[in-house]
A = this chain, B = another copy of it.
Amino acid sequence: MQQEQASPEVQARVQASFERQGLMGHLGARIAHIAPGRVHIVLPCRPEVTQQNGYFHAGATSAIADSAGGYAAFTLFPENSSVLTVEYKINLLAPAGGDHIEAVGAVVKSGRTLTVCQLEVFGVQSGQRSLVATGQQTLICVNARPEE
């Protein structure tokens, strides 16, 4: 795992946006790492994020994967721009269990308008990681201010 970090400015931009996402706080998710083109988000296990059999709900798994990819793209965007998810696809490879899950969004291709990210989610139990979901996401860079 690369330990590279994004610049303090970029980290602050990502963190500030993340804190405005009511859903992330409500789920109990937090950002674990911000590198240029790669963001990790961690979600601890608790009953509020489960499906009917006690595993992490695919919706919770997807939510942090989507945010991780979105912020990974965002780290490479110019200032005063914003990011929107165009679409994503995710395969749930195995029941997602563990102390927490960790989503890693990583930019595969960064274009002027569109960015494509790879999404991976790991279940982590006592420090052991196993891949529980893998996805692919398309994002669009939009000007944060209305067109003038």
Contact = CB atoms under 8 A, between A and B. Distances in A.
B59 A63 contact: yes
A57 interface: yes
Contacts of A2: none
A114 interface: yes
A63 B52 contact: no
Q: Please report whether the interface of chain A is mostly helix, strand, loop or mixed according to DSSP.
A: mixed
A26 B63 CA distance: 14
A66 B90 CA distance: 11
B60 A66 contact: no
Number of copies: 4
Interface in A33-82: 46-53, 57-60, 62-64, 66-67, 82
Interface of A: 17-18, 20-27, 46-53, 57-60, 62-64, 66-67, 82, 84-95, 108-109, 113-114, 116, 118, 131, 134-136, 138, 140
A36 to B, nearest CB: 18
A87 B89 contact: yes
Given A23-B59, A26-B49, A59-B67, A109 B86 contact: no
B67 A63 contact: no
A59 B57 contact: no
